[in-house]
Amino acid sequence: MLTDVDLVTIGAGGGAYPAGFRLARSGKKVLMTDPKGVLSGNCLAEGCVPSKTVREIAHHLWRHRQMASFGATGSLEARYEQIIDHKDRVQALRYAQHEEELKRSPNLTLLKGSTRILDPHTVLIETDRGTQRVSTGNILIASGSDIHRPPIPGAEHCLTSHDLFKVSPNLTRRPDSMTVIGGGYIGLETACMFSALGTRVTLLEQSPSVLPGTDPIVTDTLLPLLDPGIRILFNATVISVEKTSNGLQVRYLDGNGKEDFQESRSVLLATGRKPVLPEGIKEIGIETSPRGIVVNEALQTKHSHIYACGDVNGRTPLFHSALRQSLVAAHNIMAGNSPVDYMDHRSVPTTVFTLPAASWVGWLPEEARQQGIRLLETSYAFKEDSRAQILGETGGGIRLFFEPGTLRLMGGCVVGIDADHLIGEMGQAMAHGLTARDLATFADPHPMASEGIGKAARQLF
Ligand code: ADP
């Protein structure tokens, strides 16, 4: 029976384990709990890592087709079964790596079980071998998020990202046709990757644009660059999914309220995620909103020793944000819950791994306009860029937004080549208060797309 630890984490994903390891390294006694019994949460189980493994192969095929006019010959194909084998191997490799990390951390224990809060300093963990009661100095809630299934009749026939990307996934053969319900980042990324792999894809989105809530400067640039083979139907509200002799039929209302249907071999349900709230939080007065547990900028709930990090607070539900949040919590626990570190959600970059990718960070024009914030914009088109010309992918470009006067970087976005890499540099610059002058006076490596950051900044001088 484990009693008296310094920290219990509810979950062992990106919101939990960086804090666990950090505190254990400082000699604190840490107990991490997760029903999966392994580190890394949903990111490795069925999220970022496995989906990007499949996407990377799809990206190669997509790029090969773009290069066809420069002499790349033959049609490049990949066997889905082997792609899945590779994905499973990557997951196994990373799980083994995490296991080694655990072995090297004597102050940290990972217990397989589901945890609920009994009182502000006690948790109960349901394990295979019964219930354990543990008293703890601090609690870190990092129970993540789960797939949201809207009440559509027949939704149970649909695949979810879980069926596609978990270890030994349920989908083992690539379908010849797929309907994707939902044009958020998971729906759009999956539509792009399956289309690149050779599946006929139709995407149904109930709003008038994809990636709802994203600044139109991103979506308006991205949409024309996507594979025109992907059929995207906007303002389409799905009303039911039914089995047919060849697969599934999705019935929907179009923008004029007229009923129509779409048939395909498989249907992917990608209608968003919702926070997973552990039992017991209400009883101890922890506040929640529809997006998750309410926390301050130090990641504390109304109890200064109980933290909520990652998807469960819904602020910036991305793995890399969870990781940084977890470290903020660790630093504040080490400081006796009197904060010494704060989360800057604004400088967390977002990438949508479509083909091509789109990324953004900080303030973008639409939100700035709504909040009355003035931004100074400068941009760089990839049609001017040497790497884009080499690859024959000259669509899109970089936009940077600065604060007038101080010229401090306030935000930026990239659509097109290397967006997923470039946004790291832009996020770093923004997080550390760099100005247009700093960006303009850096020797960006040539001939890489990051040159565009310096070139855009130099337009202001
Ligand atoms: P984040 O990146 O925000 O940490 P993840 O979704 O990657 O989120 O990880 C959350 C983890 O929390 C998952 O592995 C999930 O199994 C685990 N979890 C969910 N509910 C509980 C609970 N009541 N007790 C312990 N672990 C939980």
Q: By 3-state DSSP, what share of the chain in percent is helix, strand and coil, each rounded to 5?
A: 35, 25, 40
Residues in the chain: 461
Report the separation in Å between the CA atom of 102 and the middle of ligand 1, taken as the mean of its atom positions.
17
- How high is the pLDDT of residue 70? 75
Q: Give the residue, by CA position, lying nearest to ligand 1 atom 6.
A: 144
pLDDT of 298 higher than 70: yes
Please provide the average confidence, as pLDDT, over all residues in the chain: 96
Are 355 and 192 spatial neighbours (Cβ–Cβ below 8 Å)? yes
**Whose CA is closest to atom 27 on ligand 1?**
11
pLDDT greater than 50 at residue 1:
no
Q: What is the pLDDT of residue 72?
A: 67
pLDDT digits (tens, 9 = 90+) for 6-19: 999 999 999 999 99
Greatest CA span in the chain, whole angstroms? 68
- Using the predicted structure, report yes or no on whether residue 74 has a pLDDT greater than 80: no
Distance from C-alpha of 336 to C-alpha of 272, rounded to nearest angstrom:
37
- The confidence band for 71, taking pLDDT boundaries of 50, 70 and 90, is confident
Pocket test residue of 276, 277, 291 for ligand 1, highest count of atoms within 8 A of CB: 276
For ligand 1, which residues put their CB under 6 angstroms from it? 10-16, 33-36, 41-43, 114-115, 142-145, 276, 278, 310-312, 319, 322
C-alpha of residue 33 to centroid of ligand 1, in Å:
9
User: 104-138, pLDDT tens digit by residue?
Assistant: 999 999 999 999 999 999 999 999 999 999 999 99
Q: Report which of 143, 116, 164 is spatially closest to residue 36, judged by C-alpha positions.
A: 143
- Residues whose CB is less than 8 angstroms from the CB of residue 75 and which lie 6 or more positions away in sequence, other chains included: none
**437 pLDDT exceeds 90?**
yes
Q: How far is the CA of 85 from the centre of ligand 1 (A)?
A: 25
Q: How far apart are CA 55 and CA 250, in angstroms?
A: 25
Predicted model pTM: 0.96
Tell me the two tokens of residue 154: 């027949």
Nearest alpha-carbon partner for 178 in 153, 151, 152, 197:
197
Which residue among 17, 36, 143 has the greatest number of ligand 1 atoms within 8 angstroms of its CB, and so is best to mutate? Answer: 143
Confidence at 3, pLDDT banded by 50, 70, 90: low
Q: How far apart are CA 181 and CA 187, in angstroms?
A: 7
Q: Which domains are delineated in the chain?
A: 4-47+85-146+274-346 (3.50.50.60), 149-271 (3.50.50.60), 356-460 (3.30.390.30)
Beta strand 30-34 with 5-10 is parallel
Say yes or no to pLDDT of 75 above 80: no
Rounded to the nearest angstrom, the distance between the alpha carbon of 402 and the centre of ligand 1 is: 37
Per-residue pLDDT averaged across 362-366, rounded?
98
